[in-house]
Structure 1
Amino acid sequence: MKQKIIVIGGPTASGKTALALKVAKEFNGELINADSRQIYKYLDIGTNKEVKTEELKDKNYRRSARSEQSERRGSPQTLSDMTIYSIEGIPIHLISFLQPNERFDVYSYQKEASELIKDIREKGKLPILVGGTGLYIDSILKNYQFEVGENSQELDNLSLENLQELLKKQTPETFENLNNSDKNNPRRLARLIQKSSSTTKLSTPPLDINKYEVIFLYPEYNWDKLKEKIKLRVDQMIREGLIKEVKEVLNLGYSKDSVALQGIGYREVLEFLDGEIGAVEMEEDIVHAHIQYAKRQKTWFEGKGRNYKLIKVNKDNVIQTLKDLGL
């Protein structure tokens, strides 16, 4: 029997998170982030982590039996074993877990999200994938197949000492620049080894065979109102301290070339800080970039070639819609 999951995708500023929280509260769900910008630490304002995420304090929260058994065996730490954050008491995974200079490809997302879906289902809860990164969502729904280097397939079986020695051998400078916590984090070491020793690419074509029973919810929106919402959101980001956020990340020692700082909003602020553009132009450029991104998302999700079965909902009818579907 296929595992049931909810997917909530759509353009930026269309209200995905609000829908996801409402569904999770009604149907005992947990969220899995599918936004490629919200995976980074320290970057909250510019990535619009819509409500403040906090470390989950609920002592009754438990991981799946599979994760707990893995930990007892001393297996390398997986992302599902890491700090869990919550929004309004609802656990959310794959958010704020990477440094701004770390890369995280679609293969890595598929691997971690698939593991989390299993973990959440094993607890008798409903996995809810929410975000606007189409490739992340596609990798799950269409069961993308990847060609991965041999070394990365074997890393899970290596001890901490073996991982340390392997990284030292491959890229000694990278190892020496790690802090003590990272040097003793098997998952972190494995990611760095995989990045330096293997290539990961999508097999052609994807299987396009869904191993999940998917309900794809798509927020109803008016395009003109969405553009106005984006303008207001950007204005709010700047007032709440977007420029200060960028300065703080730079003060932590991260380069302007860090992958997370190349995203919408951050690259424009960097241009402003470098004196290349003024404050007004910076804000206009950020708004324009977000609107163009929303257009691309709209094309991705609504395009006929994707073959998504979108169920358009709003905050008033989403719960009844799901009940009518037998959830």
Structure 2
Amino acid sequence: MERHELITVIGPTASGKTTFAVALAGYLNSEIISADSRQIYRSMDLGTGKDLSEYVWKGKQIPYHLIDICDPGYKYNVFEFQHDFFQAYKEISSRGKLPLLCGGTGMYIEAVLKGYKLFAVPENPELREALKDKNLEDLETILSAYKKLHNKTDVDTVKRAIRAIEIEEYYKRQAPGISEYKPLNSLIIGLDIERELRRQKISARLRQRLEEGMVEEVRKLIDSGVQPDDLIYYGLEYKYLTLYIMGRLTYKEMFNQLEIAIHQFAKRQMTWFRGMERRGFHIHWLDVTLTMEEKIEQVIKLLNK
């Protein structure tokens, strides 16, 4: 029987990753490590879809890690995630449990599964100055020319795209990296959701979160002193809601543009996961319409192979 060191649950936004991971962790007496580039921020709850109330299985609280570990406004990165992940991974493993990684940030997931050697990349003022007048489309074209791995799924603002190019330029000057951590033998479970169902779930969830107070959440962040530009940097919900609060979009414009952006983001996530398969990762895809019991049963069979 193959020995797995980790279970990884991936899938696009609105595919039900959290609900499934919690049930699976409960069944296996495991703990969850989040692989979401925005759920690490405190007070950014509705916009990131933390759904912390879901971390309960049959009345039992399921422990989670790497959620609510940074203040909003901070620019967390994959280098920090890799180190934080392995710290949490060692703690969970030391308790005799099989850790469960769950999220949709492809670069974070790939960085820990492969153990890539990463660096804390400093700012490059000259490069930023040279790129400051370029639009997002121009920056994405520049970024696409780089051979190295980068998480293009999250590049939906000019600042994030410039930072991505800055990282790639820095890595060009580094010696070929050996792995800092050993690669992990993970059972990777992908939640496969049909495109139209995914679109329906995304739209329904967006309306629900707006009704639950997502606009007020962003207002509170701004009132607490978080700079609007920092929130825009985080993209998606925080970008469009901030633009609405600042009066640069009407409510209807905000909703329509944000809905389109989330659909595009989910498509980019799936493109990343398909790319992982081409890069040698074996992903076991489960139909999201299966019952929870059927999904768990299939994972148990894979673990016992």
TM-score (normalised: structure 2): 0.74
Preserved contact between residue 243 and residue 269 of structure 1 (Cα < 8 Å): yes
Q: Which amino acid aligns with 1:119?
A: E
Q: Tell me by how many angstroms 1:96 deviates.
A: 1.1
Whether 1:113 and 2:85 are equivalent positions in the alignment is yes
% identical aligned pairs: 32
- 1:321 aligned residue (270, 295, 298): 298
- 1:311 paired with 2:288, answer no
Which runs of structure 2 are paired with 1:136-175 in the superposition (5 Å)? 136-148=108-120
Please tell me the residue identity of whatever aligns with 2:224.
L
Relative to structure 1, is the Cα distance of residues 260 and 52 closer, same or farther in structure 2, using a 3 angstrom cutoff?
farther
Unaligned runs of 5+ in 2: 122-166
2:107 corresponds to which residue?
Answer: 135
- Cα drift, residue 105 of structure 1: 1.2
**What is the letter of the counterpart of residue 8 of structure 2?**
V
Structure 2 residue identity aligned to 1:40: Y
User: Which residues of 2 match residues 166-185 of structure 1 at below 5 A?
Assistant: none
Q: How far 1:288 moved relative to its partner?
A: 0.6
**Which residue of the partner structure matches residue 234 of structure 2?**
262
Once the two structures are superposed, what CA deviation does each residue of 1:118-141 show, in whole Å capped at 9, x if it has no partner?
Answer: 110110112111000001001111
Deviation at 1:325, TM superposition (A): 2.3
Sort the Cα spacing of 1:274 and 1:15 in 2 relative to 1 into closer, same or farther, 3 A.
same
1:53 shift after superposition: 7.2
Two-structure CA RMSD over aligned residues (Å): 2.7
* Correspondence for 1:239: 211
Q: 1:142, 1:206 within 8 Å by CA — same for their partners in 2?
A: no
The Cα of 1:115 is off from its aligned counterpart by: 1.4
The whole-number CA distance in structure 2 between the counterparts of 1:25 and 1:321 is: 16
Distance 1:41 1:292 in 2: 26
Whole-Å Cα distance in 1 between the matches of residues 204 and 271 of structure 2? 23
State the Cα deviation string for residues 81-102 of structure 1 (Å, max 9, x = none): xxxxxx9600010001111111
Distance 1:146 1:227 in 2: 35
In structure 1, what is the Cα distance between the partners aligned to 2:103 and 2:192? Answer: 15
Cα 1:210–1:312, aligned 2, differ >3 Å: closer, same or farther? farther
Residue 207 of structure 1: CA displacement? 5.3
Aligned counterparts, 1:7-18, within 5 A: 7-18=8-19
In the alignment, what sits opposite 1:281? 253
Aligned to 2:53: 52
7 and 273 in structure 1: CA distance in 2 versus 1, 3 angstrom threshold = same
Q: Deviations over 1:18-65 (max 9, x none)?
A: 1101110111110001000111111111111124378x9xxxxxxxxx
Q: Secondary structure at the match of 1:218?
A: strand
Q: Distance in 1 between matches of 2:252 and 2:209?
A: 14
- The whole-number CA distance in structure 1 between the counterparts of 2:263 and 2:230 is 23
Q: Which has the higher strand share?
A: 1
Q: Which amino acid aligns with 1:117?
A: Y
Tell me, in whole angstroms, the C-alpha distance in 1 between the residues paired with 2:241 and 2:272.
Answer: 27
Q: Between 308-317 and 273-282, report the one with greater CA deviation.
A: 308-317
| Preserved contact between residue 7 and residue 98 of structure 2 (Cα < 8 Å) | yes
CA shift digits 1:96-115 (9 cap, x unpaired): 11111112111110011011
- Pair 42,143 (structure 1): closer, same or farther in 2 beyond 3 Å: same
Shift of 1:265: 1.0
Distance 2:268 2:190 in 1: 15
Deviates more, 1:44-53 or 1:221-230: 44-53
Task: Give SS of 1:129's match.
Answer: strand
Q: What's the TM-score, normalizing by structure 1?
A: 0.69
Report the 3-state secondary structure (helix = DSSP H, G, I; strand = E; otherwise coil) of the residue aligned with 1:247. helix
8 Å contact kept, 2:232–2:239 = no
Q: Which residue of 2 aligns with 1:28?
A: 29
Distance 1:326 1:268, change over 3 A: closer
Check conservation: 2:114, 2:184, Cα contact below 8 A. Answer: no
Question: Do the aligned residues in 1 keep the contact of 2:38 with 2:234 (CA within 8 Å)?
Answer: no
Q: Give how far 1:254 is off.
A: 1.2
Structure exhibiting the larger radius of gyration computed from Cα positions: 1
| 1:246-271 per-position Cα deviation (integer Å, ceiling 9, x unaligned) | 11111111111225763211111111
The aligned counterpart of 1:185 is none
1:10 shift after superposition: 1.4
